[in-house]
Amino acid sequence: MDLELRHLKTIRAIAEAGSLTGAATSLGLAQPALSAQLKRIERALGGPLFERGRHGVRPTALGELVLDRARVLLPAVRELQEEAVRFAHAAGSPDTPRRFRLGATHGPLLGRLVDRLATDHPAAPVTTYTSWSVGELASMVTQGRLDYALIGTCGESSPPVGDRMVWREVGVDPVFVMLHPEHPLADRREVDLGMLADERWADVPGDGCFADCFAAACARVGFTPVSVFETDTASCVHLVQVGRAVGLCRATFPPTEGLVTRPLTGAPLRWRHLIGWHQDASAASVAPAVVGHTRAAHAEAVERVPSYRDWLADHPEFGTAVP
C-alpha cells in the first residue's frame, strides 16, 4: 500500500484525539474501520505508530517521526492547493475583472451589491453563495473558492482571521426589535429591553457570539430569555406576524407588512458589517471598488428605512462607514 495524504490526516486525527474512539468520531468513521485502516498504515510504514493503553493511545518513536513530517506536509499541500485555485481563477486587469464570486451571510446587502456590480461590470458574471457560518465563508475565500466574503460580527468581535485575509468595515447598525403592530409596545419610539422580559424571541442562527451578547444584554437588565427560536429570516418574520415571538433584526431590515421595528433604548446590541478578501488573490486589485459598492449598498438600505434614517440623526456613531 502506498502512503497517501489521507493516511497522514488519519494519523494526525488519532494523535490529536488521543484515542481511536475520539478520532473515529471526528473522522466520521466506525471505530473498527479506523482500527483496520491504522493497521494497514502501520504495515506500510514498518511498525506500530501508537501504543495502546487504558487511557487511550500515545505515539511511538516511529509515530512521532511520522507526525513531525505530517505537520509539515499537510499545511504545505493545503497551501499549494489554495494557491493553485487562486492562480486558476485569477484573470483580467484591475479595470476588467473576469467575474465576482461573493459569499455572504443572509442579510439585506447582498442583493444590492450584486445589482451594483452587475451594473458597473455587465460583462463580468456575479455568483453568490450564502451561509450562516462566517468561518465557512472566510475559509472559502482563503481556499480560492470565493473572491469576497460579506459578513457581520457582533459588537467589536474580530472577524475570522484566515491566512492573509483583509477586512474592511462597511457599516455599523444597532439591533432593532420586531413587534406585531398590536403589541403593547409597538407605538413606542424606543423599547427598553427590560420591558420584553416575558417574551419569546426569534432570531437567525450563526456561529459568532451574538447569542452570548444577547444573553448578556438581557442579564444586565435583569432577566433571562424565556426561549429563543433560531430559524431563517422568513420564519422569524412569520413568528412575529402571528404574535408567537418578538424578533431581533438589524436596523436596515426593510419595512414589512404585519410587523414594526423599533430601536432598543441605549442600543445595547450592535452589528458590524464587514467585507473581506485574500490579499494575494486577484480580487485584491479591485477590492477598493468593491468596498465602495458595498458601502453604497448599505447607505441605500439605510435610506429605505425612514425610522432608522431618522434615528441616525441622534446617533452618528452608527451608519455607513466613511472612507
Question: What does the DSSP assignment read for 10-48?
Answer: HHHHHHHHSSHHHHHHHHT--HHHHHHHHHHHHHHHTS-
Q: Which residues contact 283 (CB under 8 A, 6 or more apart)?
A: 97, 147, 148, 277, 290
Shared domain for 68 and 135, answered yes or no, is: no
What would the grid cell of residue 243 be?
A: 404574535
Shared domain for 121 and 214, answered yes or no, is: yes
pLDDT band at 276 (very low <50, low <70, confident <90, very high): very high
Shared domain for 184 and 234, answered yes or no, is: yes
Q: Which domain holds residue 71?
A: 5-89
- Residue pair 253/108 in contact by the 8 Å Cβ criterion: yes
Shared domain for 12 and 118, answered yes or no, is: no
Question: Which domain-ending residue is among 27, 55, 89?
Answer: 89
pLDDT tens readout for residues 135-191:
899 999 998 899 999 999 888 888 887 667 999 999 999 999 999 999 999 999 999
Shared domain for 75 and 145, answered yes or no, is: no
Shared domain for 43 and 147, answered yes or no, is: no
Query: Is pLDDT of 92 > 60?
Result: no
Q: Output the pTM of the full model.
A: 0.70
Distance CA 197, CA 89 (A): 51
- Residue pair 92/118 in contact by the 8 Å Cβ criterion: no
Distance CA 122, CA 271 (A): 32
What would the grid cell of residue 96 be?
A: 476588467
pLDDT band at 101 (very low <50, low <70, confident <90, very high): very high
Instruction: Give the mean pLDDT of 267-287.
Output: 92
* CA-based nearest residue to 273, from 78, 142, 113, 125: 113
- Supply the pLDDT for residue 26: 85
Shared domain for 59 and 108, answered yes or no, is: no
pLDDT tens readout for residues 1-42:
788 888 999 999 999 999 998 898 888 888 888 888 899 999
Q: Number of structural domains, the chain?
A: 2
Query: Is pLDDT of 104 > 50?
Result: yes
243: left (phi over 0), alpha (psi -120 to 50) or beta: left
Shared domain for 127 and 265, answered yes or no, is: yes
The rounded mean pLDDT for the chain is: 90
Asked which of 122-131, 152-161, 249-258 is least confident by mean pLDDT, the reply is 152-161
Looking at per-residue pLDDT, the higher value among 265 and 90 belongs to 265
C-alpha distance across the termini of the chain, in Å = 58
Specify the DSSP element, H or E, that contains 196: none
For residue 59, the domain's CATH number is 1.10.10.10
**105 φ/ψ angles, rounded to the nearest 5 degrees:** -75, 165
For residue 227, the domain's CATH number is 3.40.190.290
**81 φ/ψ angles, rounded to the nearest 5 degrees:** -65, -45
Residue type, 236: C
pLDDT tens readout for residues 225-252:
999 999 999 999 999 999 999 999 999 9
- Supply the pLDDT for residue 95: 54
Question: Which domain-ending residue is among 38, 65, 89?
Answer: 89
Shared domain for 140 and 258, answered yes or no, is: yes
Shared domain for 275 and 152, answered yes or no, is: yes
Question: Which domain-ending residue is among 89, 106, 140?
Answer: 89
Shared domain for 287 and 165, answered yes or no, is: yes
DSSP 8-state symbol, 159: P
280: three-class secondary structure by DSSP: coil
Shared domain for 28 and 136, answered yes or no, is: no
Distance CA 167, CA 183 (A): 40
Whose cell is 461590470? That residue is 121
Spell out a b/e string for 76-102, using b for 16 or more CB atoms within 10 Å of the CB, else e. Answer: eeeeeebeeebeebeeeeeeebebbbb
